[in-house]
Structures are given as C-alpha cells and as structure tokens.
C-alpha cells in the first residue's frame, strides 16, 4: 500500500538528545514548523501513530502523545473514513506564484525602523570594564530567595487579580520613605508609580506631560535608553550641550524656544560623569517655572559617591512647585534584570500617570514588588548599598591604579567621584571607536563616548567609558592592559581639555 504523502516530510524529523527537550516536544515543534512553512498543508493525511513510530524508531506512546497535543491545539483533526488530517480547508490546486522579494528596508512600521537604527549596543555584563553594570556577584541571592518564598507562602487568590496601576501599596510606602531619607525628597506614597525600569518610567513621564511632536531637551552626549523612550513617545529630540557644569539650558532654548520638557541626569551625568553645578540646577528649575514646563530627573546611580557630600536632587530643590518628575531605579543597587524602577510625580499629575499606566502594561509583577517592599522596608537595601559602596570604592581604586601604573600619563580620567564608571580621555587623533572595537574583540566591554553623541558641531576629545562595578579588582590590570595595547597602536599628542569646575578629575 502506498504511503501517505506526509511520510516524506515526517521522515526528515531528526530528534536530538542535547536540546533539553523531550522527544515528544521536539516532534510537536517539528510539526508546527512544517505547518508554518507550508510543507504540511491543510487536508494532508498524516501517518497512523503506529506506522510513524516504526518508521522513526520511536515509542508509539511518544507519537500518540504528540498527536493528542497537536489535536488539542487545533493542528490535527480526525475524520471518519479519512483518518487524521492536517486541520483547515484543503487548498485548490493553483499554479505556484513567485513570491515577491522580501525587503528588510520595509519590514515594520516607520517608527520601528527608526528605533532599529537608534538601538543601543549589546551589553556583555560578564566582560570586564563594561559600563552600566552593577556588581552582579554581590547580589543577595539567599536573602532574596527567602523574601520571595515568604510572599508565595502567604499569598491569596486576591493577589492573582489586577491591582492598583500605580503599584503595590507597601512598596510605594517603602520607596517614599527611602527617597526621603536618601535624597531629601518629601513625597507621599500616592505620588509614587512603580515601573519596569528607568526607560519605562521616562516613557510614562513623557506621555503624561508632553504631546506628540513637542520638543524635549536631552543631554548630548546622553543615555541612549532615554532617547529611545522619548522617540517611542513621538517627541522631537533637541540635543542640548553638556559641558563641565552639566546640561546647558541656554543652549537648548536657543535651539528650540518652544520646548517645555527637559530630561537630565544632574547627580551623575551619563556618560560624562559630570555633576551639574548648583547654578545650572537653579537655572533649569527657573526655566521650567517660567515656561510652565517640566523636568524629568533621572537620578542615575546617585547612591555611590566617593568624594565629598551627596549632591541635592532637583526634586528636592524644586520643593512644592511641582515642576520635576523624579525617576529612580534599582538597576545599579541590585540588578538590571529585575526590571524595577519608579517614578515620582507631582500631585496634579497623579491621575494622569495612573491613566497612562493603565493603558500600557497595567502593573509590575506583584511577587517582585512584594519582595522588594520587604527588602527596602526591613532595612536590607540600606545594608546592601553600604556594602556596595565599599566594594565599588575598592574596584574603582584598582581601576585608577591600573590606569596610572600602565598608562604612563596617557589618559585624563573624569567622572570618578560618583557612580560605577569613569570617562577615560585618549590622546588626540586616536579613534576611540576603533579602540573600543579592538578591546571588545578581546571581550573587554569598554565603549566609545562618541556612541552616545548626537551633534557633530561640538568638538570633543576621543574618550572611552570604563565600568568598574562588575569587574573584580584582580581583573583590572589585565583588562586595562588590553585597552592600552589597543590605544598605543596610534598615539599622537594629547588634546587640550578645558578647565573643569568640578573636583573629580584626575590626571594620570
């Protein structure tokens, strides 16, 4: 008896013991894939389970179980007198038409294609000197597991329903208390919105205070994640100069006098490491009040300051005027993979923020929120930050020592007083992007400053970002040696750096 036509396709199935999947699961996935690519068309009869099991040398139960799953999912149907068929109406015989050539240039919407062009670089957290990554080896795994298990032991059916879009009540209370003690921000839990990280908080804030097409001042150079969030909100990016005092609001106003929104990281500007001067902070707040505008403050890694006293946040300076929306995150004190941040909004924007959040992803995972609420509320966050400050200070010192001993005065280091990375200016004439590519080819995660720059009319010295938080002290010297080897291939006379008003610049 002739075999059904599906035999030729099924016999192409080649199970693997190394995929981490059962043979039955591999068989089910193989069937779905062949249906998707058109090899198994509607109306085709599939072999009987016994016959196919013999052909493939599998247990009949494996094949029968796969058929049952596929039938339950609607891929197979059984018809009396016909056997088991691929579901769907059989296609009439028609001449095969050539498919039009697929163009990747038109794949996706115009907005998506713009975002694809602007997508940030891939981060390799395990590579030495990768900026923006905290000490993942210091994560409190055992404590975290206990707190998480405690929530699941006591959770009720009500916890599985939709909850308040602004976030879990106890977590919002803990965040309000934390920013009050750590950053001097007087806030009610009702003003706190829990988000899935900094970008989500920035996106929500932008949707709350600005309409599509409006201009927004962004730092240049600046964090590309912020720009992506603002592009997604359909706002018009106004690249605004950052100098040794931080964002220059006068430069932004000269480029777009109508803009009413600014996004800044004043406590530790990314990527330059500059701390915004008090004069600039007050000028920025005055601009927001006069323009009836708003400021989104990204308080980037302000917890980690090694020289001098912590700098006051814009939100605290703004007081009761309500012109600042404050963005915070746990990415640098715990782990970016948790995807947990928060947004603090003025009283008059709470309802608008709730409405925007409801229209987006509604809420953050409740077990995560509950675990973090206990972690903060029981004092574990404060203890963890104190531990990280000591660890980061040690790793920072190891990085600076490695640069000083091996660099022989080649570099100018800035941004070292705060945060989890330093900016390393290279001698003039060196292509920092090329140096970064060579270093990354050796699995050293440094990044070029130029990758974060929008405007080309502002001359800048070539520079690299060197992260130290997730790099053990013992690894610093060999990692720095790789960077120096890549740099010394072309060394020319150093560029001249303007005098800085800050105290955290080190000549080595």
Report yes or no on 297 lying in a domain.
Answer: yes
Q: pLDDT tens digits for 396-436?
A: 999 999 999 887 678 888 888 888 999 999 988 899 999 99
Report yes or no on 111 lying in a domain.
Answer: no
Same domain, 426 and 369: no
Same domain, 315 and 167: yes
Neighbours of 39 (CB within 10 A): 13
Q: pLDDT tens digits for 167-176?
A: 999 999 999 9
Alpha carbon 253 to chain centroid, angstroms: 29
Same domain, 193 and 211: yes
Q: Which domain holds residue 75?
A: 7-86
Task: Indicate the burial class of 191 (C-beta count within 10 angstroms; 0-12, 13-18, 19 or more).
Answer: buried
Percent of the chain at pLDDT > 70 equals 90
The helix/strand/coil state of 479 is helix
Same domain, 365 and 418: no
pLDDT of residue 270: 93
Report yes or no on 128 lying in a domain.
Answer: no
| Per-chain mean pLDDT for the chain | 87
CATH number at residue 467: 3.90.1150.10
Q: pLDDT tens digits for 301-354?
A: 788 888 767 788 999 999 888 999 999 998 888 999 999 999 999 999 999 999
Report yes or no on 292 lying in a domain.
Answer: yes
Same domain, 395 and 374: no
Domain count, the chain: 3
Look up residue 50 and give its two tokens: 């016994």
CATH number at residue 294: 3.40.640.10
For the cut 50, the answer to whether the pLDDT of residue 505 exceeds it is: no
Look up residue 362 and give its two tokens: 């509604």
pLDDT of residue 160: 87
Place of tokens 């409190």: 140
pLDDT of residue 39: 83
Same domain, 353 and 394: no
């Amino acid at each position: 008896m002739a075999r059904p036509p599906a035999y030729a396709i099924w016999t192409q199935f080649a199970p693997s013991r190394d995929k981490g999947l059962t043979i039955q699961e591999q068989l089910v996935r193989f069937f779905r894939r062949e249906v998707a690519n058109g090899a198994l068309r509607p109306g085709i009869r599939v072999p009987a389970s016994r016959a196919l099991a013999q052909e493939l040398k599998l247990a009949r139960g494996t094949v029968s179980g796969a058929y049952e799953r596929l039938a339950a999912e609607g891929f197979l149907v059984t018809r009396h007198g016909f056997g088991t068929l691929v579901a769907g109406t059989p296609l009439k015989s028609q001449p095969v038409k050539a498919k039009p050539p697929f163009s990747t240039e038109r794949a996706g919407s115009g907005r998506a294609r713009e975002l694809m062009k602007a997508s940030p670089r891939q981060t390799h957290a395990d590579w030495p000197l990768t900026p923006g990554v905290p000490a993942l080896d210091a994560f409190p795994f055992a404590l975290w597991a206990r707190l998480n298990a405690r929530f699941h032991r006591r959770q009720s059916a009500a916890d599985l329903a939709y909850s308040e879009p602004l976030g879990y009540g106890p977590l919002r209370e803990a965040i309000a208390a934390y920013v009050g003690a750590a950053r001097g921000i007087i806030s009610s839990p009702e003003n706190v919105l829990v988000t899935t990280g900094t970008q989500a908080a920035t996106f929500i804030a932008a949707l709350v205070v600005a309409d599509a097409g409006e201009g927004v001042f962004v730092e240049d150079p600046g964090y590309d994640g912020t720009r992506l969030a603002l592009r997604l909100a359909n706002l018009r990016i106004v690249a605004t100069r950052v100098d040794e005092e931080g964002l220059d609001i006068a430069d932004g106003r000269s480029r777009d006098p109508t803009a009413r929104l600014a996004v800044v990281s004043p406590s530790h500007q990314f990527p330059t490491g500059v701390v915004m001067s008090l004069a600039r902070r007050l000028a920025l707040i005055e601009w927001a009040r006069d323009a009836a505008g708003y400021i989104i403050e990204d308080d980037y890694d302000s917890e980690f300051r090694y020289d001098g006293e912590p700098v006051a946040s814009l939100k605290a300076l703004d007081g009761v005027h309500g012109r600042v929306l404050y963005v915070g995150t746990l990415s640098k004190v715990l782990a970016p993979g948790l995807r947990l941040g928060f947004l603090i909004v003025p009283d008059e924007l709470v309802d608008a923020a709730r409405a925007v959040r409801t229209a987006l992803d509604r809420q953050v995972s409740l077990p995560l929120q509950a675990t973090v609420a206990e972690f903060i509320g029981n004092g574990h966050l404060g203890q963890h930050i104190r531990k990280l400050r000591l660890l980061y200070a040690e790793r920072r010192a190891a990085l600076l020592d490695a640069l000083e001993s091996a660099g022989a005065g080649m570099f100018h280091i800035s941004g070292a007083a705060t945060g989890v990375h330093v900016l390393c200016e290279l001698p003039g004439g060196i292509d920092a992007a090329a140096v970064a590519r060579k270093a990354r080819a050796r699995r050293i995660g440094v990044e070029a400053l130029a990758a974060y720059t929008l405007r080309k009319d502002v001359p800048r010295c070539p520079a690299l970002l060197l992260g130290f938080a997730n790099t053990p002290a013992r690894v610093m010297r060999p990692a720095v040696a790789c960077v120096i080897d890549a740099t010394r291939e072309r060394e020319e006379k150093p560029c001249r750096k303007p005098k800085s008003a800050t105290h955290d610049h080190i000549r080595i």
